[in-house]
Every structure is written in structure tokens, then in C-alpha cells.
Amino acid sequence: MSAHDRQRKGYYVRRPNGSNTWLMFFTVSGFGYFLSSSEKVETAWPGDLHLYPPGVYQEYGAIEKGVWNFHWVHFIPRPTWTPLLALPATEDVPGLMRSRISSPDTSRRIVGAFNEIHRDALMAGGTRLELSFNSLERIILLASGTTPPTGEPGTDPRIQKVLETVASDPSVGYTLASLARQVGLSASRLAHL
């Protein structure tokens, strides 16, 4: 699901248990807000890309003045996107991440990719999902390229695979033993790494 919205005062969404997908916003103009469960506020400024992982408390809406002009998309990421989705955490809203896009060219490219997602989602046929994912991956690459890397260089590829597995479907009841089997390690060795 995706859309380009222009919302005024009164627009408000609250999901105490979050969603079972990732949720991304890109503010084109105007201002929105994100609230924590303790009512701390994160403002969505033009050029901000915000990202909620699955299962995180969500509360957001349009600020009283003007119109919040933004794109949004719900998605389940490809496993290879895991390191790219590690955007910087916001200070006041636990679980919410943000990338500030300062380049007008990068902002235009992100808006263009969102427009492609919206258009391709309406297509008939089996290629619409792949086309949408290609545009979404471009957005994620552009957003992650504006923030410093969060991972350690030289991360063990087996650990990276475990992280990607869990991120691709966090609702599965993984155990240390089941994850260790997937990467060919003993549970104790995986725990050590």
C-alpha cells in the first residue's frame, strides 16, 4: 500500500501495536508530527524521511497550520535491505527513525520514485510488485546514503545473514538454535559472535 497525501489539521492516526509491515513517510512540504506513547513529539519537516519498523507504537498526524504534503508506503523489505534500513533513531520517539534529505536533487529523485511506486501498484500483471520494489529500493538507497553507516565494518557474514533473516520476518518465533542452524553454527558459537 502506498499513497501521496495532503492532509490538514484533524488528520490523525494511532496504532498502539504498530503494524506488521515497515512504514515509510517522506515529507514534501508542510509539517507533520509523530508522537511517542509518552507524548513526546518529532516534527516531520520538508525533506524528512521517517521510518517505523513493524510492531512499534505509531501515532502521527498533520500539524495545525497548513497542509502536510507527504508520501507513504507500507512494505516488507527484502533481506538485503536490512543494513540500509538502519537509519538514525529519532531522539524523542522510540522506534522511529529519520533521514534528513538536504539535497534538492535527492528529494526530487525520492519523490519521483514514490510516484513510480504509486503508479506501478495500479498496474495489472506480475511485474507491478517488482517495479514497485525497485523504486522502493532506490528510495532506501538514497536515504541511507545521506546518513553515516551504522554497522561495523567487517561484520561476520553469518551474523549479517541472521540479522537479515530476523528483519525480513520479525513475527516468526526464532530461537538461537534455529538461527544457528541456518548459518551453520552451533548455538553457543552464534551467541558468542
pLDDT at 109: 94
Q: What cell numbers appear for 31 in the block?
A: 509539517
| Closest CA relative to residue 169, chosen from 179, 183, 159, 177 | 179
CB count in 10 Å sphere of residue 39 = 8
How much is the pLDDT for 157? 73
Q: Is the pLDDT of residue 146 over 60?
A: no
CA distance 64 to 8: 7
Higher pLDDT, 157 or 128: 128
Q: What is the pLDDT of residue 43?
A: 93
* pLDDT exceeds cutoff 70 at 68: yes
- Alpha carbons 67 and 8: distance in angstroms, whole number: 5
pTM: 0.73
* pLDDT for res 123: 79
